[in-house]
Amino acid sequence: MEKLPKIGLPVLIIFILGIIFIYKSTVTIGSGQAGVLYKTLGGGVVTEAPPLDEGFQLVAPWNRVFIYEVRQQELSETMDVLSSNGLEIKLDATAWYQPERISLGKLHKEKGENYVDRILRPAIRSAARSVVGRYTPEQLYSSKRDAIQEEIQIETEKILNGQYIQLNDILVRDVTLPPTIKDAIERKLRQEQEALEYEFRLEKAKQEAERQRIDAEGKANANRILSASLTDKILQEKGIEATLEMAKSPNSKVIVIGSGKDGLPIILGNQ
């Protein structure tokens, strides 16, 4: 009976060590994540092999695994930048990004886990300052929002080239100008709108006057043509035709032949 504890203790120790070994040798990588293997006893960060996939992974207990989010992520930035004439502009932007999965080992080795603060954030700020500095506050406020958004993305992608970060999109949420500048721009835009509206009314009135002139000229030309075509002979013929038609009417009437002007008949009746 005294020998049982002596035999059971080594087994228990081995069992516990086995559990610790298994615990240290397993890594669970969640959805949308990937793991970078670090070999403590040789080689350090594994950069040549693909990163570890999602799920249950077995690794040597003396090695480490650094887990990264590889899904699209969001970074929001509020920046104070200068316009082309030196006025301070507040720019709110959002970047959609993700690390390049195939290069995750290189990203970890060269940039580290805080690559967003080391690389991505400075790149966006630098690109925003460069792009906004090309425009006046009026352009930024009124018509160039889409243009600066696209240009900031292009400039940021240039900076991130070779940095193992994939930039999916940059959205400019808001451009905030100093209140005095904003009020001045809004007044100017209202005045320009009023001027355009006045020009539109003038142009419309001019077109209507032109239409009336053309219409009047058309009527005058028609009258001239008609007058030129109505000779005395034609008028007499028309008068005779009208007389004959009225003579057929049952209404009582008196027709005096040849008593009218130019020899046309005069029609007298009780109606």
33: nearest Cα among 60, 57, 52: 52
pTM strictly above 0.85 = no
| Helix/strand/coil for 144 | coil
Q: Rounded to an integer, what distance in angstroms lies between the CA atom of residue 156 and that of residue 235? A: 89
* Cα atoms found within 13 Å of the Cα of residue 234, Cβ hemisphere only: 6
Q: Rounded to an integer, what distance in angstroms lies between the CA atom of residue 25 and that of residue 63? A: 8
Residue type, 89: I
Q: Rounded to an integer, what distance in angstroms lies between the CA atom of residue 106 and that of residue 36? A: 9
Q: What is the pLDDT of residue 258?
A: 53
Torsions phi, psi for 36 (to 5 deg): -105, 125
Q: What is the pLDDT of residue 12?
A: 60
What domains sit in the chain, N to C, each tagged with a CATH number? 3-69 (no CATH), 73-177 (3.30.479.30), 235-269 (no CATH)
Question: Do the Cβ atoms of 67 and 35 come closer than 8 Å?
Answer: yes
Q: Rounded to an integer, what distance in angstroms lies between the CA atom of residue 181 and that of residue 43? A: 59
Q: What is the pLDDT of residue 193?
A: 67
Q: What is the pLDDT of residue 233?
A: 63
Q: What is the pLDDT of residue 14?
A: 63
Q: What is the pLDDT of residue 73?
A: 96
Segment (H or E) for 153: helix 145-160
Q: What is the pLDDT of residue 113?
A: 93
Cα distances (angstroms) measured from residue 158 to each of 70, 103, 125, 142: 21, 18, 13, 27
Question: Do the Cβ atoms of 72 and 96 come closer than 8 Å?
Answer: yes
Q: Rounded to an integer, what distance in angstroms lies between the CA atom of residue 147 and that of residue 89? A: 16
10-residue averages of pLDDT along the chain (271 residues): 55 60 73 93 88 87 91 94 85 95 95 95 95 85 79 95 95 82 64 68 79 80 70 65 66 53 55 50
Q: What is the pLDDT of residue 1?
A: 44
Radius of gyration from C-alpha coordinates of the chain: 47
Question: Do the Cβ atoms of 234 and 241 come closer than 8 Å?
Answer: no
